[in-house]
Structure 1
Amino acid sequence: MSRFRLLPTAAQEARLLEHCAHARFIWNPAVTARGGGASARPANRELQLATSAIRQKS
């Protein structure tokens, strides 16, 4: 297994967080389409709130 350490600048960190939010935006409907979704995992709501907070910072 390879391990990498990221030490991003502030601008790079913002872009990485934005990318993760976009990936999550695509992932959630895919999970719902397969029969999962927020109702199947209560912790998913907490993740959505955290993602929302990241978006508001940008």
Structure 2
Amino acid sequence: MNYINKLMVRVRESKQGQTMTEYVLIIAAIAVAGYIAYQGLEGGINTIISNVTATLKAA
């Protein structure tokens, strides 16, 4: 039982789990920002692709 208590104390004091959580939150924020940017630029991107496609077909 003493071993389990010491293990629990070490786990609570560990900073590695906290760092990993921070990285996950940063990655999630970047993913959300990227998705929002994609949604906002979708119309412009589709217009550019259509123009390029039309130009290549005409050539």
TM-score range, shorter chain: 0.3 to 0.5
Structure with the bigger percentage of helix = 2
Give 1 or 2 for the bigger CA radius of gyration: 2
- TM-score by length of structure 2 reads 0.43
Return the TM-score normalized by structure 1: 0.44
Larger RCO, structures 1/2 (Cα 8 Å, 6+ apart): 1
